[in-house]
Amino acid sequence: MSKHRVLLIGAGDMGSHHARAWNVLGHELHTVIDLNPERAEAMAEKYDVKRVLTGDYDYQVGIEQVDIVDICVPLEFHAPLTIYAAEHGKHVFCEKPIARTFKEIQAMQQATERANVKFGIGFQRNLAAGVAQLRDWATEGVFGHPMVFSSDLLQEVRPKRFMHDRNSNNGPIVDACCHYFLLWQTVFRSRPKTVYARGGIIAKSRQEISHFEQLALDTAVITIEFESNDIGAMTVSWGLEKDFRLPSRPDRIIGPHGGAEAVSTENFNWDLQLYHNGGQSLHKLPQGDLFEEEIRAFVEAVDGVREAPFYGIEQGKQMLALSLAVIESIDTGRPVDVNYNFDF
């Protein structure tokens, strides 16, 4: 694996995970950019970063002398920063979700293709060994058909306010559900077909997010039917009261012959409790560093060891298509067929 020089934009939570992974894998974190000087400087000190840009920084300077740009900032910056980096001949690794609209994705795709640079996206959760194990059991028919995969995510109003902004990360349906949609799609090995969802904004009266021009939907009940007739279902809310304590229920899959439940361990890994043939057993699974794995796979793509990164524009686009179908179903009150034509 070649050694790469990286510009990291965004030294927050995800930026910290990525920085650790670049470092462990032996690449050089050359430049860090963040609006927040303390964060950028703390990261620079930890990883011996040569150049730190904060406040009114200059992208042109930031991009010099690096060959990879890693984007860990709110969603409205994903498309413009990807395009800027690609136009300067840099490979791009970007946190999920990919972008706000198909139009933005199209511009990102055109820019990266024109510059012949790689684009990778941070769907690290899907690299957990539990996902592959569930997919294998599902394929072997351990659960039978059809299967129902149910997930839920119940949280208080997010302390990162941009996550509630309709014009930024656009609430959990865009920001968080993409992880679950990709998980279901991977386990069922099938494409989502029809979405039905109900939802709304239950945290409307909360002061801390009242300044946004448009609030994102914060709560939904979502059902997705796959071409295989399997079903993914979830309840999601980011509208709950401060210090809300009821934990989310573990992910579960059931079918006519059995089921399984995720037992969360650390850093997005899980073990699995299998219910089959009238008994149950705990399956301990390898616990990888998923951030290292995603970045290793991306670098292999950059180096030409693999044809494409594990997750890229295509998966980002598919997950946005699903999120937009969920929002359309909530808005219209009707089931919506997922639009895969990507009519920009």
14 binds ligand NAD (CB under 6 A): yes
Closest to ligand NAD by CB, 105 vs 336, is 105
70 binds ligand NAD (CB under 6 A): no
Give residue 132's identity as a one-letter amino acid code.
A
Which residues 175-204 are close enough to bind ligand NAD by CB under 6 A? 175
Give residue 61's identity as a one-letter amino acid code.
V
Segment interacting with ligand NAD, rule: CB under 6 A, options 66-74, 258-266, 301-309, 323-331: 66-74
Q: Measuring CA to CA, which residue among 38, 99, 87, 40 is closest to residue 60? A: 87
Which residues 78-97 are close enough to bind ligand NAD by CB under 6 A? 95-96
- Contact in structure between 224 and 115 (CB atoms under 8 Å): no
Please give the helix or strand (H or E) that residue 17 lies within, else none: helix 13-24
36 binds ligand NAD (CB under 6 A): yes
Closest distance to ligand NAD from the beta carbon of 58 (Å): 12
Residue selected from 7, 8, 11, 21 as contacting ligand NAD according to rule CB under 6 A? 11
Q: Measuring CA to CA, which residue among 145, 71, 84, 158 is closest to residue 115? A: 84
Question: Cα separation of 106 and 317, whole Å?
Answer: 9
Write the DSSP assignment of 110-143 as a string of letters: HHHHHHT--EEEE-GGGGSHHHHHHHHHHHHTSS
Determine the size of the site formed for ligand NAD (CB under 6 A): 25
Closest to ligand NAD by CB, 27 vs 39, is 39
Closest to ligand NAD by CB, 73 vs 203, is 73
62 binds ligand NAD (CB under 6 A): no
**Residues recorded for the chain:** 344
| Chain position whose Cβ is nearest to ligand NAD | 12
| Partners of 263 in the β-ladder | 271
Q: Which residues here bind ligand NAD, judged by CB under 6 A?
A: 9-15, 33-36, 39, 72-75, 77, 95-96, 122, 124-125, 160, 169, 175
